Chains A and B, each alone.
Chain A
Amino acid sequence: MPGKLKVRIVAGRHLPVMDRASDLTDAFVEVKFGNTTFKTDVFPKSLNPQWNSEWFKFEVDDEDLQDEPLQITVLDHDTYSANDAIGKVYIDIDPLLSSEAATVISGWFPIYDTIHGIRGEINVVVKVDLFNDLNRFRQSSCGVKFFCTTSIPKCYKVVTVHGFVEELVVNEDPEYQWIDRIRTPRASNEARQRLISLMSGELQRKIGLKVLEMGGNAVVGYLQCFDLEGESGLVVRAIGTACTLDKLSNPSAALLPACNSPSKEIKEVPFSEDPNPNTHSSGPSTPLKNQTYSFSPSKSYSRQSSSSDTDLSLTPKTGMGSGGSAGKEGGPLKTLLRQQTQTALEQREFPFFTLTCFPPGFLVHVGGVVSARSVKLLDRIHNPDEPETRDAWWEEIRQEIKSHAKALGCHAVIGYSESTSICEEVCILSASGTAAVLNPKFLQDGSLDGCSEHRLSRQPTYFSTGSEKGEFDFLPLSKDSSSVLGLEEPSPPSCGFCHIPYDELNMPFPAHLTYCYNCRKQKVPDVLFTTVDLPVEAAVTGKGCLIQARLCRLKKKAQGEANATAISNLLPFMEYELHTQLMNKLKLRGMNALFGLRIQISVGENMLVGLASATGVYLTALPTPGGIQIAGKTPSDITYEQHISNMQKKINDTIAKNKELYEITPPEMSEEIIGSPIPEPRQRSRIFRSHSESSDEISELDLSHGKKDAFVLEIDDADAVEDIHSLLTDAPLPAGFYSCNTEIMPGIYNWTTGLQMFTSVRVFRLNNVNLTNQGLNKIFNDLCENLLKSLYFKLRSMIPCCLCHVNFTVAVPEDELIQVAVTAVAMTFDKDQAQESWKASVDKALMKVIAENEEQLQFPLELCSDSPGAQPFSPRKGTAASVEYSSFANRCNSWIELVKVKALTIRRGSIKTTSSLEKASPQALGHARVRSTTAYTGSTITVVKMTPLSFIPGAKIVKYVGIINMFFIRETTSLREEGGVSGFLHAFIAEVFAMVRAHVAALGGNAVVSYIMKECVFMENPNKNQAQCLINVSGDAVIFVRESELEAIPVQPQTTSSQASNGGADVTT
């Protein structure tokens, strides 16, 4: 008997009129938990009833507490006939089970009905008294914290990362049960909502148990999805990363202007990345923990200088702990690392991490993207308690991923995610992630102490150098740096992760290797693709941008195995083409790396739709990308040649324009100044050597496949024309806009407080019966482009702003429909970088000294080394990485599996450190304070911010009050009356937002971070005037405090404000 749940129903307001005669309602409330139900008295004849009920007490197992939702039903009392339901509220009480989350749920909840939508609001107070259960065999896992955030939550530090946890539960879908034929749509929808709520509770409890077994206390990067398999059932599955987190005892301590004692701070927060968004305020002390996104110091490439470069090279990279004297080629070092990591990771079945952001030092090397897909035929799940088949399917896929990672010389997969696409009885299971080598020290219990000591011992030097150098940051290269560069030291964190983890002589796929343009000691690939966020410490040149590859492929309608075979046959071509498109678009923007890559392939009855989104950046460590060369096959015709050269010119112009737009400034100049220790000829020769040694044959082989080279587009090929066309039709971003699909936009640091999260959904009907692949592609491409254009137009008042975490999902809900849904957040930033405070005092003097004009300051002294961009469009550079389907087998009869491995990369030479910026960041803070909005007054309703990001610009998250995971169904039988499909969905999405906000406010929170709309299934039947939609959303409810408020009131002002709003509850109008 470990728990007592207490519920009080206070009041209602804005209830609908249920009695036409009196225009009033006689409302009462049923409160149900498990099998127990309580009722309030009827409050007659009022649309704003005041029940002020007693406390209803439920004595329940904590297992039930975790699984069951609290169900509150508002009804209209009717003396003569059955009582009419007004609507329901489901409350997940999980946040009350953890001591660190919310202590009470109290507030106004929208009363929701699946047919009518929101119908008034109800004020409820919920509390839980939990008794400790010391039973070892317990089935509950109360107290394990869940976070959707895919990085270490802000007010915690990580003690250990335990690794991958997964679970799935299956059940019959109530919509497909026999009883559904006789019950009302409302009853059926409610049964479904309740079941999914129950299943996700159960799933969370089971995952919690696994975490406890592993010795952890939290799940980070928790991703729960459900698969509507139709007849064959309903699957709810989740993956996450188990961790042991420690709450930072005194978050306000970190707020002190910590410039004073850097080393001390480090002791407090040894390894963990910095938990609070504010740490940049702690000045130079934080280079190791700059988890901060907003003013992330390492991003200011403009600040980079050779002197900081020096600092870094003096500081051995922690990830390579023992590698201080490693050999030139880094070979021995790698082996060593591998051994270390192996021991740590091999105990795990799947060394996967759902995180996309890591504490600095955690990530040693990144290999490339690994992904696996498999096509399955669904069959009925006979025994819901033993979901073996589904488990086995995922197991297979994860094994594939694991083996691909191994092939890349990596032991772990980060940024890991899983997804499905279902059409009738065919299901595509996909998994993808980024192969990586991790620092083993994070992964083992107990090893941390030693590790942090090791670190600490080094820190002081680091810092002292850093602060000493602060003033010289802007001086053009000092001599000593070059001499230091000569040392064979492990690579600095700004480029370390780019260095190849695999053996150069035995590469898993063809790639061009060069020496790192940053440290010049290790090899880097020419292009790098990853599914994770850009590491904060990474050196980046210019700004990033959203890059999408879009593709449709027609497929014959088929049934069963034939269908599955057809799909599996198409998949590799789609992946290849998506990849080619991504590559071309990347080149077109003059960039060399993709982050946050997400490839979605959706299956419909007669087509497959593929959409790949990623954020392109120019990694300073990788080589400058070559241009795109167009080659014609029939050079005889003059007009034809002219046509080609016109096109070539257009492409070259676009590249040049893009470079300007994204502020990618070629680093040629600086090389002479630097007097690079590695003279160019020498480097060239090395490139050639490695080329001939390793990758030559493979790339030739690759070409012999007859596939287009990624950079040389042959115009005779119809596909190529199409490719070029699609390349050039990508509309440029309107002035003042940037976009990315990662957490932060490289190159923008000065976020202001403007924040607008939105969801946009479009469904396109293809009426053309005889569509070709090209026609279809164009339609799909236009659909996405127009959607983006609309977003830019809508958000024009926020300029200058950046669309962050742009998350597209595509679906083919019916034969001729393509559905695209986008959720993203628009954030304003201060465009006027010259006035930026991080450039303030220290800089000003230097500005005068160094730069006469501002340009130079903004894309400054990129001090890099090599000048590879000399012949940007030369075909020599044109060769590139290609895709390889390492396993592509048609196994058994019912399904086919496809796997693909990719890893790609480039170079560049500016060096970036954290130290220079850190110094200035307190000023940045001050800046943010000035700009932060003033407190609003007037309404009793808490304003709740929502964002798909894990942070809120200009604010500090002080508490996580619980995970939000909500599932709603809305149905209508009067579609026309509700404004058609658009009116229906518009209202529903607004309602979902409203319900999320209400739950967050009731938990005492004022924002949702890491918000994601995981599912938006829309079905319509206009002939019957009907439509139905399912939406599944999740996120982390938090309390944030504006940095400006923090100064004045160090204690949480939020609780009071939420109480105030609750208090206002009693006064209804």
Chain B
Amino acid sequence: MAMELDVFVGNTTIMDEDVYLLWLDGYTVSDAVSMRMKSGILEQCGASQDVLESDTMDHYRTFQMTERLLHNPSKLVNQLLFQIPPHRQNMLIERWGGGAAIVKITVQKCYKILNPFSPSLAPSLPPSLALTGRYYAFDEAFVREVLGKKLSKGTKKDLDDVSAKTGITLKSCRRQFDNFKRVFKVVEEMKGPLVENIHQNFLLSDRLARDYAAIVFFANSRFETGKKKLQYLTFEDFAFCAEQLIQNWTLGAVDSMVEDMDVDLDKEFLQDLKDLKVLITDKDMMDQHKSLVCTALRGKLQVFSEMEGSFKNLSRGLVNIAGKLMNNKDVRDLFIDLVEKFIEPCKSDKWSLNDVRLFLTQHTNSVRALDAFKHQAVWERYMRVIQSCILKMYHD
């Protein structure tokens, strides 16, 4: 006595937002059914559990069939298999692409937020809420685990650990990982701006495209983000840093029509960074630099004496980081170095963010007054990024 077969197919494809979220989240059908039941949907509609099971199965099948298209969203626009009305299609596209800010709430939370609304009201929900569950959206917890890791089979094998650690279902982890990898593969070798390429090929919103650009960039250069000291940093911090790096340190920052332009760092520039060493090796120059900074900051800095005391260490730290960047391995350690060599010392001396900002600005600008220093352009290109990254990273 069993239902051997049970399907429902509409000429216009019906997609339930709540079920979509659950599916994206990697819940099994039976889990999804019990979660939907808890939401009180049955009472609202006077339906039974069988009905809910059958409905959930239908949706899961539909999503599985659409998944192939979601992998290549541009196909979705002119595919014939599912008739998704254009306005709905746009919504669907936006859905993968909506604001990543909301992604910080784990999808599970989103579900709870959605629950009070009856699904019949779903279309009328404010778009920001209705669009939370997205195929290309990712969990903050998850992305922090894999950010900067090689998007390889090896990493994929370790996803069960990630799943156990983050509490995100393995299925969902795999989907998110595959999304990263898919986007990476497509845009890796493309000419033109990275964000634009992602935007075009995956129809993602600008916001999400930027996030993906960061993920691709980090995966390509394999920046270390997982060390304990870096745990306090959020994905948004890194995404911001990635954007700075892309805009200032890559080939694309110099020439806009080369391959890999936004993905790889400008090697020539990294080589040139060696020349900055003179700032710390030349004792006169260093003293002159220090006095310039101290004069300018006197009275403005709350931690003036501490600054005075640690100027040489901090300055040495910043310039040493620059000097090492020609080695790939040291590039990977960029963020850990920034934390160890600069952020931690400042924090231990209880610098405020404003102190850091004033110091870095002055530190960068004062170099212009050093007549003996010949590498102003390289210095400024370097410090522009370092300064904004440190400021972004300087929090608890």
* A→B interface (CB under 8 Å): 13-14, 108, 110, 118, 121, 734, 755-768, 779, 786, 789-794, 796-797, 799, 817, 819, 936-941, 943-946, 979, 981-983, 985-987, 989-991, 993-994, 997-998, 1018, 1064, 1069
Query: Can you offer 11 A-B residue contacts whose CB atoms are under 8 A?
Result: A756-B11, A761-B6, A763-B6, A941-B78, A979-B61, A986-B58, A990-B13, A990-B81, A991-B81, A994-B80, A994-B83
What's the A-B contact tally at a CB cutoff of 8 Å? 154
A765's partner among B1, B14, B47, B90 (CB-CB below 8 A) is B1
**How far in angstroms is the closest Cβ of chain A from B254?**
30
Q: Which residue of B has the minimal Cβ distance to A731?
A: B46
Quick check: B77 and A938 within 8 Å, CB to CB? Answer: yes
A763 near B4 with CB under 8 A, answer yes
Q: Is the interface of A mostly helix, strand, loop or mixed?
A: mixed
Q: CA A616 – CA B74 in complex, angstroms?
A: 48
Q: Of all chain B residues, which has the CB nearest A996?
A: B11
Most-contacted residue by chain B among A734, A755, A792, A986 (CB, 10 A): A986
- Hey, which chain A residues are within 8 Å of B9, CB to CB? 758-760, 986, 989-990, 993
Q: Does any Cβ of A come within 8 Å of B396's Cβ?
A: no
9 nearest interchain CB pairs? Answer: A936-B86, A763-B5, A758-B10, A989-B9, A763-B4, A757-B11, A986-B7, A760-B8, A946-B11
Residue of B nearest to A735 (CB): B46
Q: Which residue of A lies closest to B87 (CB)?
A: A936
Q: With A794-B58, A985-B7, A993-B9 given, can you name 5 additional A-B contacts, CB distance below 8 Å?
A: A118-B80, A756-B10, A765-B4, A990-B13, A990-B65
For residue B123, CB closer than 8 A to chain A, the reply is yes
Enumerate chain B residues within 8 angstroms of A766, measured Cβ to Cβ: 1
B54 within 8 A of A: yes
In the assembled complex, the Cα of A20 lies from the Cα of B6 at a distance in Å of 35
Q: Is B85 engaged at the interface, CB distance under 8 Å to the other chain?
A: yes
CB-contacts of B1-28 with A (<8 A): 1-14
B10 touches A982 (CB 8 A): no
How would residues 27 to 56 of chain B score, 1 for a CB under 8 Å from any chain A CB and 0 otherwise? 000000000000000000111101110110
Nearest CB in chain A: distance from B229 CB, A: 43
Contact yes or no, A793 B90, CB < 8 A:
no
- Chain B residues within an 8 Å CB radius of A768: 1
In-complex Cβ contact of A764 among B4, B62, B89 (8 A): B4
Given known A796-B119, A983-B61, A986-B9, contact A944–B83 (CB-CB < 8 A) = yes
A790-B65 in contact given A760-B7, A765-B1, A943-B86 (Cβ < 8 Å): no
Would you call A796 and B45 a contact (CB within 8 A)?
yes
Quick check: B51 and A793 within 8 Å, CB to CB?
yes
Q: From residue B97, how far is it (CB to closest CB) to chain A in Å?
A: 15
- Chain B's interface size range is 35 or more
Q: How far is the CA of A796 from the CA of B122 in the complex (A)?
A: 11
Give every chain A residue within 8 A of B11 (Cβ-Cβ). 756-758, 944-946, 993, 997
What chain B residues lie within 8 Å of A755 (beta carbons)?
A: 12
CA distance A982 to B5 in the complex (A): 5
Contacts of B213 in A (CB 8 A): none
CB 8 Å contact bits of B102-123 with A (1 = contact, 0 = none): 0000000000000000011011
Supposing A756-B11, A760-B9 touch, asked if A979 and B4 sit within 8 A by C-beta, the answer is no
With CB as the reference atom, state the residue of chain B lying closest to A817.
B4
Smallest beta-carbon distance A954→chain B, Å:
16
User: Judging by beta carbons under 8 Å apart, are B51 and A758 in contact?
Assistant: no
Which single member of B2, B46, B50 contacts A767 (CB below 8 Å)? B2
Q: Are the CB atoms of B14 and A794 closer together than 8 Å? A: yes
Cα distance, A230 to B231, chains bound together (Å) = 70
Check if B57 is an interface residue, CB within 8 A of chain A: yes
Are A756 and B1 closer than 8 Å at their CB atoms? no
Q: B64 contacts the other chain (Cβ, under 8 Å)?
A: yes
Neighbour of B89 across the interface among A789, A790, A938, A981, CB < 8 A: A938
A762 touches B6 (CB 8 A): yes
B79 touches A989 (CB 8 A): no
- Whole-angstrom distance between the Cβ of B373 and the nearest chain A Cβ: 51
Bound: A792/B8 CA distance, A: 12
B84 (CB) vs chain A CBs: closest residue: A939
B75 interface contact, C-beta 8 A: yes
Q: Which of A765, A939, A945, A982 contacts B86 (CB 8 A)?
A: A939
Instruction: With CB as the reference atom, state the residue of chain B lying closest to A1008.
Output: B11
Contact A793 B45 (CB under 8 A): yes
B82 contacts partner chain A, Cβ-Cβ < 8 Å: yes
Q: In the assembled complex, which residues on chain B have CB atoms less than 8 Å from the CB atom of A983?
A: 61, 64
In the complex, which of the residues B1, B7, B89 contacts A989, with contact meaning CB atoms closer than 8 Å?
Answer: B7
Contact B119 A797, beta carbon cutoff 8 Å = yes
Cβ–Cβ contact A13 & B10, under 8 A: no
Q: From the candidates A756, A765, A786, A799, name the one contacting B120 in the complex (CB within 8 A).
A: A799
Known: A768-B1, A796-B120. A986 touches B61 (CB 8 A): yes
Residues of A within 8 A of B122 (CB): 797
Query: With a CB–CB cut-off of 8 A, which chain B residues contact A759?
Result: 8-9
Contact of B3 with A764 in the complex, beta carbons under 8 Å: yes
Contact of A789 with B77 at beta-carbon distance under 8 Å, contacts A756-B14, A982-B6 already known: no
Residues A981 and B5 in contact in the complex (CB < 8 Å), given A758-B11, A789-B48, A943-B86: yes
Chain B residues near A991: list those with CB within 8 A: 81
* A-side contacts of B4, CB under 8 Å: 763-765, 817, 981
Contacts of B48 in A (CB 8 A): 786, 789
Question: Is there an interface contact between B85 and A936, defined as CB atoms closer than 8 Å?
Answer: yes
Q: How far is the CB of B90 from chain A (nearest CB, A)?
A: 6
A110 in contact with B86 (CB, 8 Å): no
Which residue of chain B lies nearest to A110 when distances are taken between CB atoms in the complex? B80
Nearest CB on B from A49, distance (A): 16
Distance of A765 Cα from B50 Cα, bound (Å):
16
| A979 lies within 8 A of B64 (CB) | yes
B7–A982 contact, CB under 8 A? yes
A993 in contact with B47 (CB, 8 Å): no
Nearest chain B CB to A1006's CB is how many angstroms away? 12
Tell me the bound Cα distance from A758 to B201 in angstroms.
33
Q: Give the complex CA separation of A760 and B61 in angstroms.
A: 14
When C-beta atoms are compared, the residue in chain B nearest to A946 turns out to be B11
Name the B residues within 8 Å of A793 (CB-CB): 45, 47, 51-52, 55
CA distance A799 to B121 in the complex (A): 11
CB-nearest residue of chain A to B7: A986
Q: In the complex, A800→B47 CA distance in Å?
A: 17
Q: B329 CB to closest chain A CB, in angstroms?
A: 34
A-chain residues with CB within 8 Å of residue B79 when the two chains form the complex: 14
Q: Report whether A939 and B89 are in contact in the complex, using a CB–CB cutoff of 8 Å.
A: yes
| B78 pairs with A940, CB closer than 8 A | yes
Assembled-state Cα–Cα distance A112/B64 (Å): 20
Are B14 and A761 neighbours in the complex by a CB distance under 8 Å?
A: no
Q: Could you tell me the distance between the alpha carbons of A797 and B90 in the complex, rounded to whole angstroms?
A: 19
- Taking the nearest CB of chain B, how far is it from the CB of A171, in angstroms? 30
Residues A990 and B82 in contact in the complex (CB < 8 Å), given A796-B45, A796-B119: yes
Chain A contacts for B55, CB-based, 8 A: 790, 793-794
A943 adjacent to B83 (CB under 8 Å): yes
Asked if A762 and B81 make an inter-chain contact with CB atoms under 8 angstroms apart, the answer reads: no
Chain A's closest residue to B77 (CB) is: A939
The answer for the CA separation of A989 and B81 in the assembled complex, in Å, is 10
Report A767 CB to chain B, min CB distance, Å: 5
Partner of B80 from A945, A987, A998 at Cβ < 8 Å? A998
Contacts of A757 in B (CB 8 A): 10-11
- With A758-B9, A767-B2, A779-B1 given, is the CB distance from A986 to B65 under 8 Å? yes
Question: Which chain A residue shows the least CB distance to B53?
Answer: A790
**Nearest CB in chain A: distance from B170 CB, A:** 20
Whether the pair B61, A982 counts as a contact (CB closer than 8 A) is yes
Task: Give Cα distance in the complex from A506 to B367, angstroms.
Answer: 118
B30 to chain A, nearest CB (A): 16
Complex CA gap A946/B11 in Å reads 7
CB distance from A823 to the nearest CB of B (A): 10
A734 near B45: Cβ-Cβ < 8 Å: yes
Q: Which of B9, B74, B81, B87 has the most CB of A within 10 A?
A: B9
Q: Find chain A residues with CB under 8 A from B8 CB.
A: 758-760, 790-791, 794
A1069 to B80 CA separation, bound complex (whole angstroms)? 15
Could you say which of A789, A796, A936 has the most chain B C-beta atoms within 10 Å of its C-beta?
Answer: A796
